[in-house]
Amino acid sequence: MGNWEKISSLGRERSTGQDSVGRDEVPPVGRVLRRAREHHGLSIRQVERRIGRSSAYLSQIERGLIRQPDPVVLLELADLYRIDFMSLARWAGWTRDGDRQELGSSPDFLVRRVLELNAEQRAEVLGYIERVIRQRQS
């Protein structure tokens, strides 16, 4: 079993008092992230230093207190842990299989659409948004 298969199945295992998750159910993203961190032998403080996010925030995600973490944080953690970002985003509720909303004003819709882009396209979109924000501030 490769690293990704091992880590993606982690959310389905029984863990200290938590119910196990069936094969077709969505695992809690926090549990998957905690197990991925442990798999890589990293402390939460080491992750804090590597991605620049507070250990308190990361701990809240891992404990399930934050169920829908910022997608940028998910992207950083997926990169650090070498796990599939789109699966994390889906487990956090940012994307859904077969979800194709009509264009609307929902922030969820915008986030889902950006998450569907490849890394280069996301960087381009985020750069554009930053330019627009700077123009509005001046």
Q: Which two tokens stand for residue 56?
A: 């308190």
* pLDDT interval class at 84 (50, 70, 90): confident
Please tell me the predicted confidence (pLDDT) of residue 38.
97
> Does the pLDDT at position 134 exceed 90?
no
Q: What is the mean pLDDT of the chain?
A: 77
Domains and CATH numbers, the chain: 3-99 (1.10.260.40), 102-138 (no CATH)
Closest of 97, 93, 98, 91 to residue 12, by C-alpha: 91
**Residue pLDDT, tens place only, 85-109:** 888 888 888 776 544 444 444 566 6
Please tell me the predicted confidence (pLDDT) of residue 77.
94
Q: How large is the average pLDDT for residues 62-78?
A: 91
In angstroms and rounded to an integer, the radius of gyration of the C-alpha atoms of the chain is: 16
CA distance 92 to 17: 21
Please tell me the predicted confidence (pLDDT) of residue 110.
73
Query: Which are the contacts of 76, defined by CB distance < 8 A and separation ≥ 6?
Result: 51, 53
Q: Distances in Å between the alpha carbon of 54 and those of 58, 60, 112? A: 6, 10, 25
